[in-house]
Amino acid sequence: MKVAVVGGGWAGIAAAIALADAGHDITVFEMAPQPGGRARSIAGQDPARPYDNGQHILIGAYRDSLALMRRLGVDPEQVLKRLPLALPYPGEPGLRLPSGSPLLAFMRGVLAHRGWPLAARLGLLTAAGGWLARGFRCDTHLSVAELCAGLPACVKRDLVEPLCVAALNTPAPQASALVFLRVLKDALFSGAGSADLLLPRRPLSELLAGPAAAWLGERLRLGQRVQRIEPGWQVDGEGFDAVVLACTSVEAARLTAEIAPAWSSKAEILGFEPIVTVYLHSPGSALPAPMLALREGPDAPAQFVFDHGQLGGAPGRFAFVVSGAAPWVARGRCDEAVLSQALRELSWATPPVIDKVLTEKRATFACTPGLARPPAQIAPGLWAAGDYVDGPYPATLEGAVRSGLAAAQGIGTGAGTGAKGAAKGSPTKTP
């Protein structure tokens, strides 16, 4: 089949490669001058030291993203630094999971956490045992804050809240407990190493988008924003047998407004959460670890800081991450607040200065309880892929890749092509 993939982020790349591997004739339309979407590098003054469009973390459980990298000849062990899950704070060792089976490691790590009173450690293990007994499922309308209401305050502050905002980019009172439990389940139950943190050692574009562009060659059309899709399927007037909409939810809603209005309105109503990344520069400085957790507060926006010098990147470059950043975007001067937080909480060899500030207002969809996400199939022959599409994961690289693979699978198996009864205007075979 001749298949159009609209959007060259991680979801579109995953769909395109799976479809090409299955023998289909693919064309990827990407409106930006480079692929990668939100997970891309941004040029800086020094061409050898680009910035990432926001610090990204992968975990060992990102099975399909890691397999896709390997498919493109990228060795995850080379481009990612693998560390056992640890949440050290400045001056405090924090929670550290030893190696071995993630579930046992979690129990051992919690019991060994000297920063928490014994009752708090036992309280967390009891709650986690309850989640396990219920298969990591809960009422869809429960928030993470409600799920964890009975946990000791120190556990909520040092573990639940930072993990929630890191994984779901949504503050615990507004975040879906069901999705949070699913992330915990995959991290703790996907075998050895699944809870490991995988921190990029190379610019983000080298992880997937660059190799994908080389692999796709002329099948990737850059700088081409798709304006219109018509049943048939016509993509800006060009005929295809099937289409994967792997663009953002906003663009997918626009492109389907006339051909699948019910689906379009589901995509249109999704809310968003921003992420602000503040890069500080401090020559000669180094953190005690490549990644530190920070305690956010009224004057402390960042929840995490990454030392790029320890990650094979630019020495003296530090990425401060402000997730769930809506209040800071509204308030402004987030960068200055981050600089003050950095000066207060960390030691520096030279005074840090603000190097670059990246604000992604629509970094991820707001992962709220009971959220009805749009399904993968829009109409026969028309599929959606993207981190927002209905699935168990929050907006993550792995969620994007899995949705791309699912769309390719749907098209490849003929599950959605040429059948009767499209949402509006059944597609006919293209000329």
Ligand X SMILES: Cc1cc2nc3c(=O)[nH]c(=O)nc-3n(C[C@H](O)[C@H](O)[C@H](O)COP(=O)(O)OP(=O)(O)OC[C@H]3O[C@@H](n4cnc5c(N)ncnc54)[C@H](O)[C@@H]3O)c2cc1C
Q: Does 183 bind ligand X (CB under 6 A)?
A: no
- Interacting residue with ligand X among 2, 22, 24, 32 (CB under 6 A): 32
Q: Is 396 in the site for ligand X (CB under 6 A)?
A: yes
Question: How far is Cα 90 from Cα 255, in angstroms, rounded to an integer?
Answer: 47
Note the helical H segments in 273-333.
Answer: 326-331
Q: Footprint of ligand X on residues 215-274 (CB under 6 A)?
A: 225-226, 246-248, 251
Backbone angles phi, psi at 199, to 5 degrees: -105, 130
Q: Give the total residue count for the chain.
A: 431
Phi and psi at residue 195, to the nearest 5°: -90, -5
Q: Which residues contact residue 8 at a Cβ distance below 8 angstroms, ignoring those fewer than 6 apart?
A: 16, 28, 29, 30, 32, 35, 36, 37, 209, 212, 213, 220, 222, 246
**Is residue 176 packed enough to be buried (19+ CB in 10 Å), middle (13-18) or exposed (0-12)?**
buried
Q: Which helix (H) or strand (E) holds 155?
A: helix 153-155
- Check residue 395 for interaction with ligand X (CB under 6 A): yes
CB of 409 to ligand X, least distance (A): 16
Exactly one of 20, 51, 54, 324 binds ligand X (CB under 6 A); that residue is: 54
57 contacts ligand X (rule: CB under 6 A): yes
Binding residues for ligand X restricted to 8-27, rule: CB under 6 A: 8-12
Subset of residues 73 to 132 that bind ligand X, contact rule: CB under 6 A: none
Q: Is 400 in the site for ligand X (CB under 6 A)?
A: yes
In this structure, are strands 291-293 and 304-307 parallel, antiparallel, or unpaired? antiparallel
Subset of residues 153 to 172 that bind ligand X, contact rule: CB under 6 A: none
By CB under 6 A, is residue 360 in contact with ligand X?
A: yes
- The overall longest dimension of the chain from CA atoms, in Å, is 70
Q: Which stretch binds ligand X (CB under 6 A): 128-136, 151-159, 391-399, 422-430?
A: 391-399
- The distance of closest approach from Cβ of residue 347 to ligand X in the complex, given in angstroms and rounded to an integer, is 26
One-letter amino acid of 369 = P
387 lies in the binding site for ligand X (CB under 6 A): yes
Q: Which part of the chain contacts ligand X (CB under 6 A), choosing from 3-11, 83-91, 135-143, 371-379?
A: 3-11
Catalog residues that contact ligand X under the rule CB under 6 A.
6-12, 29-32, 37-39, 54, 56-57, 225-226, 246-248, 251, 275, 277, 360, 363-364, 386-387, 395-397, 400
